[in-house]
Structure 1
Amino acid sequence: MSTKAETIGIVLAGGRGERAKPITLESADYIRSKALIPFVGRRLIEWVLESCRVQGIRRFYVVTHGLENRNQIKLLLGHGERHGVRITYSRSRFDRYNVGSAGATLHNLEQWDLQGRALVLPVDSLFDFDLDALHATHDAQDALVTVAAVARTPAEIAHKYGVMRTDERGLVQGFVEKPGLSELGELFPRTLAEPGTGLPTNAGMYLVDCGRLRLLAREPELFRQSHQRLDWGGDLLPWLVRHGHPVATHTIGRLGDLGNVPDYLDTVRLVLNGAYEQMNRLMDQPDDTARRRWIHESSLQTKDDVTGTTLAQKIDEGSVVIGAGVRIGRDVEIGPGVRLENADVGDGAEVREGSTLVRSTVGESAVIGSYADIADSYIGPMAEVRSERIRPIRLERHTAVGDGAVLWPGSRLCGVTVYPRLRVPALAGVPARTELRSAEDVLRWV
């Protein structure tokens, strides 16, 4: 029987992060790796490594793709010395074989000559999981692959998630791709009859037996697919089940999909409010445990340029209101009359007088002008929201402002994406889901 200490981690980090734009953009034509998404004070891949390291994984293999993707991750992580782990990267000559998540996994298992157990996980999600429990399920079912599953209600699943059909032992018997409520009712009548009961959906993390999987990868049909297009959820798992190989499921605590702006913001909110047990253990203890607030000491002592008082003084006198689920990084300047709730504010940012931030994130060194009203929105690093008291800016409903973008006073944006480094005049009435990618796009709405 394998043990947790012998498990290695395989991190799939080669995706381009198209869905997560503008979070993954440094400029309109330069995309950062999904692994480098800023998340609650660190880069996402750092949280991924740490969550695995504290559960006994010390050796990681990172599947990258292309020059920029590989260099960005390697510059951040090196070979793992700073994180107390050992990291090996996929070779660039194998990039052409990274044809889907499963294809990349199979080719690199062979390249690295791996035989034991591996935890395979993507880098655009946050997992709340217990590796010991995952191993126990894997052992009990003698599984080739154990799929980390998230239990979702039929209402959550309908037309959005695929469902795994399992037998009484928890072994997968088949897959149903994004069913509607009526189809769910026909397939799982008991679940619909019991409100709150969940069905297993694929979380995208897998515990695998490397040696057994490598042998199967030499089967002619699977070998051919692995050189064309082979994803885990859509291709490899159905193939394994069809051919009678044991695929088990194990329900984990939570999955935070960071692949798009709404899910990113929702995951930040849940983490700040303590919904992820593993993140609760990894993050520093809150300064205020009851309300879950983190305020760096340097920010408490930073004076604003209006009153000349520190944040600590303003909190004491009640001129700044900091609600539940708030993290304020280093050297942040907070003006009088500011209200923060369920908000993450990065190092060196400025939130000027009278502004409100609710269920939103502000990147490093970004500036939020006076009397801005921001809800459910993402503000990237170095962005400027040039709000003024007589011409305040309002952002809501998953508006996303990319790195270094500038919004002029008076804008009202609802569900709009602004690409990095754009200078946007006062706009209102722009339809939700509009993407402002260039100056020409901006001019259409002026």
Structure 2
Amino acid sequence: MKKVLAMVLAGGRGERLYPLTRDRAKPAVPFGAIYRIIDFTLSNCLNSDIRRIYVLTQYKSTSLHRHIQFGWNILSTPLGEFVEVIPAQQRLDEHWYQGTADALFQNIYTLQEERPDLVLLLSGDHIYKMDYREMIAHHMEKEADLTVAAIRMDRRLSESFGVMEVDGDGQITGFQEKPEEPKTIPGDPEGILASMGVYIFSTETLVRRLVEDARSESNHDFGKDILPSMIGKDRLFAFDFRRADRGGTGYWRDVGTIEAYYEASMDLISVTPQLNLYDPAWPIFTYQLPHPPAKTVWIEKGRVGTALNSIISHGCIISGGHVKTSLLSPNVRVHSFAEIEDSILLEGVDIGRHSKIRRTIIDKDVRIPEEMKIGYDLDEDAKRFTVTESGIVVVPKWIRL
């Protein structure tokens, strides 16, 4: 779709995901054992035949830049296809991006150079599978200036989302940004129509609105400023996500907290997960080093390498240890008599003999010494690690134990 240009906002700090975001931007956080969060948005683009993609970055972006540089150089440059990273340029001012709208405004020259008919504006930190072509067709059919992807959410979550009101034709008539008392869906008093942060703009409208917003005193944010200012003046329509959901389950997650990240990860190892990573018709692309296959070793009394109800990545060796209901990223080593349960081990983690790990997220390249227990005494764990209210322990990367 050469007439469509995708702009992916990937500069978020992800403060609620700390310490996983201590050294990386939220879109670069590993997810699903072998992926990064941004891989899902970028894969949606490729599977939707959108092959001109800019990724706007800002905070702690080194690992994200590296991942895209090595993992997303799969398009044909001679054919005008690309996934290109644009760090904060400070072209128009000396400040960093002041909001989502300001991030686009500071790169408005890119829109002028590319001259697309439509701009697909995306967030790089959500997990979902969506065929954007369906939404684009809806946008064109309605002759819209802006189309917003919408999903039903429980009204109790309204303070985390932009909430829309629509008429019978799907035209947006009202918008509240993270309201305490939201407008509910007619006939559904417990449901709200939430914005997914997926927008399709007609380019002319987007440029005009960005220029107007830059001249005004505002938060320079799409949800707080741009979208509300367009109601009643431009043609705004909501698009039902279910019409383009390639998973067929309505799955869309903002894994913006440790609890949400953990729950979404654990769902992947269920018998029938809501997010199917094994669909050949909608592959999730990523960058993987050429690690050898995973293996389990030792079969003797009390010393058997096993993995049950788990995702085990390439390069992992379960050497006489036991792994249950867990996700292991590449190159993880679990030594003899160690027990891993309900946990997420990121790349390069090494678990010593007789150690016991439960309900714990361990970041990259951490070496757990022999006979250590994590997740069994939360008061003791809290002295060294991050422990959430629900009892999930997070061990930051490179820590020495």
Band the TM-score falls in, shorter-chain normalisation: 0.7 to 0.9
Q: CA deviation at 1:57?
A: 0.9
> Which residue identity is paired with 1:38?
P
Determine the C-alpha separation between the residues in 2 that align with 1:400 and 1:205. 39
- Correspondence for 1:129: 130
After superposition, residues 286-365 of structure 1 pair within 5 angstroms as 298-300=293-295, 303=297, 307=298, 319=304, 321-324=306-309, 326-336=310-320, 338-341=322-325, 343-365=326-348
2:313–2:330 contact (8 Å) kept in structure 1: yes
Determine the C-alpha separation between the residues in 2 that align with 1:136 and 1:107. 28
Q: CA deviation at 1:116?
A: 1.4
After superposition, residues 234-273 of structure 1 pair within 5 angstroms as 234-241=224-231, 243-252=232-241, 253-273=250-270
1:136-181 per-position Cα deviation (integer Å, ceiling 9, x unaligned): 32123322221122211335x255444211111112221244456x
Q: CA deviation at 1:337?
A: 5.4
After superposition, residues 58-137 of structure 1 pair within 5 angstroms as 58-65=51-58, 69=61, 71-78=62-69, 80-84=72-76, 85-90=81-86, 92-94=89-91, 96=95, 98-113=97-112, 114-137=115-138
Q: CA deviation at 1:345?
A: 0.3
Q: CA deviation at 1:10?
A: 0.6
SS in 2 for 1:134: helix
- Correspondence for 1:32: 24
2:38–2:126 contact (8 Å) kept in structure 1: no
The 3 A distance-change label for structure 1 pair 97 and 213 is: farther
- Correspondence for 2:206: 213
Q: CA deviation at 1:377?
A: 2.8
- Correspondence for 1:138: 139
Of residues 346, 353, 374, the one that matches 1:393 is: 374
The 3 A distance-change label for structure 1 pair 52 and 179 is: same
Determine the C-alpha separation between the residues in 2 that align with 1:123 and 1:145. 20
1:47-99 per-position Cα deviation (integer Å, ceiling 9, x unaligned): 43222112101111121236x52x54443323953355413443623373622
The 3 A distance-change label for structure 1 pair 261 and 351 is: same
Q: CA deviation at 1:363?
A: 0.9
- Correspondence for 1:152: 153
- Correspondence for 1:431: none
1:288-322 per-position Cα deviation (integer Å, ceiling 9, x unaligned): xxxxxxxx97222x53xxx4x5xxx99xx994553
The 3 A distance-change label for structure 1 pair 215 and 414 is: closer
Determine the C-alpha separation between the residues in 2 that align with 1:187 and 1:275. 25
The 3 A distance-change label for structure 1 pair 74 and 148 is: same
1:414 and 2:398 aligned: no
Q: CA deviation at 1:14?
A: 2.1
> Which residue identity is paired with 2:97?
N
Compute the TM-score of the two structures, normalised by the length of structure 1.
0.71
- Correspondence for 1:171: 171
Aligned residues: 368
State the 4+ residue runs in structure 1 displaced beyond 6 angstroms. Answer: none
Q: CA deviation at 1:129?
A: 1.2
Determine the C-alpha separation between the residues in 2 that align with 1:136 and 1:275. 26
Q: CA deviation at 1:202?
A: 1.3
The 3 A distance-change label for structure 1 pair 167 and 396 is: farther
Determine the C-alpha separation between the residues in 2 that align with 1:356 and 1:166. 52
- Correspondence for 1:444: none
SS in 1 for 2:198: strand
The 3 A distance-change label for structure 1 pair 418 and 328 is: closer
Unaligned ranges ≥5, structure 1:
26-30, 285-295, 408-412, 425-446
% identity of equivalent residues: 23
- Correspondence for 2:245: none
1:400–1:415 contact (8 Å) kept in structure 2: no
- Correspondence for 1:440: none
> Which residue identity is paired with 1:213?
L
Unaligned ranges ≥5, structure 2:
242-249, 286-290
Determine the C-alpha separation between the residues in 2 that align with 1:49 and 1:178. 26
Of residues 350, 353, 367, the one that matches 1:384 is: 367
Q: CA deviation at 1:420?
A: 4.1
